[in-house]
Amino acid sequence: MSSNLDRLAASEPEPLGPPQPSAPDAAVPAWLGSAQWLHDSPVDDSAAERRWSDESIDDPFDPGDPDSDGPLRRRWRSTPAAAIGLVIVGVLATLVALYTAFADGATGADVPVAFPESAGAATSSTVSVQTADPPAELVISVVGLVHRPGLVRLPPQSRVADALEKAGGARSGADLLSLNLAQPLRDGDQVLVGFADPAGGPQMRSAVVAVDGAGGAPPPSAGATTGALPPAAAEQPRVDLNTATEAELDTLPGVGPVTAAAIIAWRNANGRFSSVDQLAEVDGIGPARLEKLRDRVTV
């Protein structure tokens, strides 16, 4: 068997040693020649050249470059157009909302607006206006020529005639022509019953005096006054100095029984008065008293 092994060993070629590097260039140090690092792998220059020649270089500034940034550039280019479209849609929606609001306001429809309630604020902003209830009864003042003057109480919607009846009715000589007996009364009104002299003497016309001057009270009847005498009524009839009695002369202002007797004595002694100025010749009548009597006497 050993002879067989020797024969096989003699027939195998002698193994070659490790490859020896070629002789370095004279200008390159021997240690920096073609030596490689332990982790380096042999580089195939032809493969590297083929890889660089096959791969394309992206040019971001070349619009004709069919590289992978095409979709990205197209996406960025489409973004402004989409934004403009959204803005236009928003403006149109706003215009439609404004038109609808103004159209509803033009037709008179109230658009409810909800406001937040602040702390401590009232729960309702509606102010209710309370209307005063009408009084259960009317209190009317009736004065003047009535049998029972004073305050009378009447039901609502009563009239002047009801107030006079409640006060016992009008007395003789009362001025009822100046009163509108059908006039409605208000609470607090006053019915003033005046008097009239058929002979043309002093008179005071009747009237309804409202509780407030112009607060909606019924207006006084036509021709009624509140107590002031009209000029015709204020003018008193003149006393004739030639025919007046002592009692009639005694009613004149500033003339008493003594002066009235002196006027009759002068008339008996001198005859008829021919002028009012002759009263100055009567004892007790001076210039001041004569001026008071000038408009009250005649001859």
What CATH number is attached to the domain comprising 262? Answer: 1.10.150.320
Q: Is residue 282 part of a domain?
A: yes
Which of 234, 268, 289 lies at the terminal end of a domain, its last residue? 234
pLDDT at 233: 39
Verify that 274 and 287 share a domain, yes or no. yes
pLDDT at 131: 57
Q: Is residue 160 part of a domain?
A: yes
pLDDT at 60: 52
Q: Is residue 191 part of a domain?
A: yes
User: What pairing do the DSSP bridges indicate for beta strands 138-144 and 207-209?
Assistant: unpaired
Verify that 202 and 270 share a domain, yes or no. no
- Measured between alpha carbons, how far is 198 from 191 in angstroms, rounded to an integer? 22
Verify that 209 and 244 share a domain, yes or no. no
Verify that 144 and 190 share a domain, yes or no. yes
pLDDT at 234: 46
- Measured between alpha carbons, how far is 99 from 94 in angstroms, rounded to an integer? 9
Closest CA to 143 of 228, 209, 215, 233: 209
Which of 199, 234, 269 lies at the terminal end of a domain, its last residue? 234
170-209 burial, b for 16+ CB within 10 Å, e for fewer? Answer: beeebbeebbbeebbbbebbbbbbbbbeeeeeebbbbbbb
| Contact between residue 194 and residue 171 where contact means Cβ atoms under 8 Å apart | no
DSSP 8-state class, residue 94: H
The CA-atom distances, in angstroms, between 295 and each of 73, 273, 283 are: 122, 16, 20
Give the side-chain half-sphere CA count within 13 A for 186.
14
Q: Is residue 131 part of a domain?
A: no
Verify that 196 and 257 share a domain, yes or no. no
Verify that 187 and 221 share a domain, yes or no. yes
Question: Domain limits at 144?
Answer: 136-234
Verify that 259 and 171 share a domain, yes or no. no
Q: Is residue 66 part of a domain?
A: no
- The secondary element (H helix, E strand) that includes residue 298 is strand 297-298
Q: Is residue 79 part of a domain?
A: no
Verify that 230 and 272 share a domain, yes or no. no
71-107 burial, b for 16+ CB within 10 Å, e for fewer? Answer: eeeeeeeeeeeeeeeeeeeeeeeeeeeeeeeeeeeee
Q: Decide: helix, strand or coil at residue 119.
A: coil
- Measured between alpha carbons, how far is 194 from 214 in angstroms, rounded to an integer? 22
| Contact between residue 143 and residue 191 where contact means Cβ atoms under 8 Å apart | yes
The model's pTM = 0.31
Domain count across the chain: 2
DSSP 8-state class, residue 146: B
Average pLDDT per 10 consecutive residues for the chain, totaling 299 residues: 57 54 51 51 52 50 52 56 81 85 60 51 47 78 90 92 92 86 91 78 80 47 43 62 85 82 88 87 83 85
Closest CA to 140 of 148, 130, 150: 150
Verify that 178 and 246 share a domain, yes or no. no
Verify that 194 and 252 share a domain, yes or no. no
- Assign 3-state DSSP to the chain and report helix, strand, coil percentages, each to 5: 35, 10, 55
Supply angle C-alpha 119, 120, 126, rounded to 5.
Answer: 105
Q: Is residue 70 part of a domain?
A: no
pLDDT at 226: 43
Verify that 291 and 229 share a domain, yes or no. no
Verify that 187 and 275 share a domain, yes or no. no
Which of 234, 262, 285 lies at the terminal end of a domain, its last residue? 234
Q: Is residue 69 part of a domain?
A: no
How many residues appear in the chain?
Answer: 299
Non-local (6+) Cβ contacts of 294 within 8 A are 276
